[in-house]
């Protein structure tokens, strides 16, 4: 079965630290990749997405992610986190059946 694996379930960082959240997926065909974020008390919302072209995609709030096809990875990065980045982050892949499969999420806590 297709799956999405997020390496870290809970990450704690200080403000200004660099962030990288790992994501690997198992589906071998053409994929569309997403990172969603859920801030405390808010809806899940799209952070960034990859469909084709440049494998380095930039999203909102200074986040970026790199699609590495050979590694089946789509890691999320931010060079300098802020307290307001405290949230839960979900990696997801859309497969050929037009279903989106989500990872278990990474809860990010930024210390002020």
Partner 1 sequence: EADIYQTPRYLVIGTGKKITLECSQTMGHDKMYWYQQDPGMELHLIHYSYGVNSTEKGDLSSESTVSRIRTEHFPLTLESARPSHTSQYLCASSENPGQGTYEQYFGPGTRLTVT
Per-position DSSP letters for 50-97, written without gaps between them = E-SS-SEEE-GGG-EEEEEGGGTEEEEEESS--GGG-EEEEEEEE-TT
Question: Which member of 14, 18, 45, 82 binds partner 1 (CB under 8 A)?
Answer: 45
Contacting partner 1 within 63-102 (CB under 8 A): 90, 94, 98-102
Q: Are 36 and 48 in contact (CB under 8 A)?
A: no
- Could you tell me how far CA 55 lies from the centroid of its own chain? 14
Q: Does 11 bind partner 1 (CB under 8 A)?
A: no
44 in contact with partner 1 (CB under 8 A)? yes
Indicate whether 49 belongs to the interface with partner 1 (CB under 8 A).
Answer: yes
List contacts with partner 1 (CB under 8 A).
4, 9, 32, 34, 36, 42-46, 49, 51, 90, 94, 98-105, 107
């Amino acid at each position: 079965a297709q799956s999405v694996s997020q390496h870290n379930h809970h990450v704690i960082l200080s403000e200004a630290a660099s962030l990288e959240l790992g994501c690997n997926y198992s589906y071998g065909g053409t994929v569309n990749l997403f990172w969603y974020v859920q801030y405390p008390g808010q809806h899940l919302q799209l952070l960034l997405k990859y469909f084709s072209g440049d494998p380095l995609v930039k999203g909102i709030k200074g986040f970026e992610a790199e699609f590495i096809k050979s590694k089946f990875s789509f890691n999320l990065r931010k060079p300098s986190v802020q307290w307001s980045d405290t949230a839960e982050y979900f990696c997801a892949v859309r497969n050929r059946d037009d279903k989106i499969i989500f990872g278990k999420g990474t809860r990010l806590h930024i210390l002020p």
